[in-house]
Structure 1
């Protein structure tokens, strides 16, 4: 059974095919609750975001835009969906609004009306009674939401359980129940990185057999972080994910070149810089980070690829935290190489 979105609405697609089945949650792998006192015994205010079941996670810090190109590229897949709690009042408003809008929509198909009616019956007068209003202080409804940045990912359909009731401080019983670590992984996916443009000397145009120095400005290439927070249905958790640049890999764009060091990987210095800025008088020295081209690029240019590896770590509610898989981000820049055996610098 899968969930689909229609605008911002969350609809149970399985109902539309007549498969009215409430999936029984499995065993969750995370310790619950995420931290002492983070869930439960919370009076419901009755406020709601009627008609919608979108993620309540908010992000702050170095957050990229939804179509931003400078996203860190991890060696793993960020979460595409998870489960979040909703108060009785919020969940009731959602179901009733969806039901009313569907029934009253001009031209709405009868099977859609029947499906939303069956869905409503589960919580109003079926498996549950009146949305568990008599137990509003004792628990919350848990609902599936999709990561807004992963809507095109087929995995965003994997959180397919119908909304289910969880008593305060009980384990929701699903592996994707939101935790500080899931928030940390979502924050990882939201980090905005600086453009990876390496400073070169000589810049843009260099000479055959001349060592080109390369470095990154440590004022620009410093650690960045994003905090993801969730306050919903008695749950109040957050996690901060930090990305720190630790190395730069140079790929000259041709086999007729040498890199410094020979691996092409320049590691971070003790002062958090990468490489060394060229200064007058160093023309006869070998750069700690750089390239020497052995032939001309002719009328064109070589495409130098510079890739930064970012070390990722996180900390969250309940003294949780630890490392996450490293990520990379790279760009290319054109380098013209002219014939010359020597040059005064």
Structure 2
């Protein structure tokens, strides 16, 4: 009855169009399920990617949840994309397959980087080596590696290292002809603020790993600026006291005696520099750890060396 009703109500040409459309739909449906109720991997690649197990009955649908692959279809997310099917046209793959391919590519890139730099395995890199490796990975479009060494470098980068305060006797706040000064032949004491002389720590965590960096001031040096070279002390030094007179530095004090005046006319001051050297170590998850290259912070200032016989400090 239905066919007669259609035939009586439709022109012949329209009937032909309807019949052809019905044929196309039927053929596409048969191709899509392969005769077994599945889906078309060529038109919908994600339908057969089975990360969590294949569907019941082996249809390959990701939404069904089944017995873990009894149909025999591979769980490799890229196994359902034979290149020959597409000819010269690259396939549009699922997200799971794209991630798989990206991972393999980046693992190969990482291996090439480590081999080219003659570095040990990823877990044995120093923080500095890890930074170099990650820079190369980033330039290749790959995600950076995360290890305790990379976290140690991240923690180190977050530390703000203070400069020495640059204190000196006589006080650098005093001026002669517009410049700070000291005296020839007498002890010039130098020191830094004790509040600066303390360990600095920072911690970074990610991916279940943690690393802590500790930076400890190890020495204070003073370059007098007269060409004689740096003078070093183990600690931060201390201010000059009246009880010190012109005696050699003691009880933690640091000092230097200039042997010649600046001049002529004290219009050509010299530049002195204080420097703190920081020793840096790190520890991380799994008994990892080591050292990071020492770092120095400095403060410079100008001064004249005066020739007088009587000194009031």
1:216 Cα deviation after fit: 2.0
Structure 2 gaps, min length 5? 1-88, 110-127, 173-180
SS of 2:208's partner is strand
Match of 1:158 in 2: 136
Of structures 1 and 2, the larger Rg is shown by: 2
- Choose between structure 1 and 2 for higher RCO, CA contacts under 8 A separated by at least 6 residues: 1
Match of 1:94 in 2: none
In structure 2, relative to structure 1, the CA distance for the partners of 1:343 and 1:305 (3 Å cut) is same
Q: Identify the match of residue 265 of structure 1 among 224, 232, 238.
A: 232
Q: Which runs of 4+ in 1 moved over 6 A?
A: 141-144, 153-156
The separation in 2 between residues aligned to 1:313 and 1:244, in whole angstroms, is 9
The separation in 2 between residues aligned to 1:130 and 1:184, in whole angstroms, is 31
Match of 2:191 in 1: 215
Match of 1:66 in 2: none
- 1:241-298 deviation per Cα after TM superposition (whole angstroms, max 9, x unaligned): 111101012111112x6x8xxx611113xxxxx2232111212211241222222331
1:163 Cα deviation after fit: 4.3
The separation in 1 between residues aligned to 2:200 and 2:275, in whole angstroms, is 17
1:156 Cα deviation after fit: 6.6
Contact 1:209 1:341 in 2 (8 A): no
Q: Identify the match of residue 280 of structure 2 among 304, 312, 317.
A: 312
1:338 Cα deviation after fit: 2.0
The separation in 2 between residues aligned to 1:314 and 1:186, in whole angstroms, is 11
- Find out whether 1:251 has 2:216 as its counterpart: no
Q: Identify the match of residue 270 of structure 2 among 278, 302, 308.
A: 302
Q: CA RMSD in A?
A: 3.6
SS of 1:275's partner is coil
Q: Identify the match of residue 248 of structure 2 among 248, 262, 286.
A: 286
Match of 2:94 in 1: 124
Q: Tell me the matched-pair count.
A: 187
* TM-score (norm. length: structure 1): 0.47
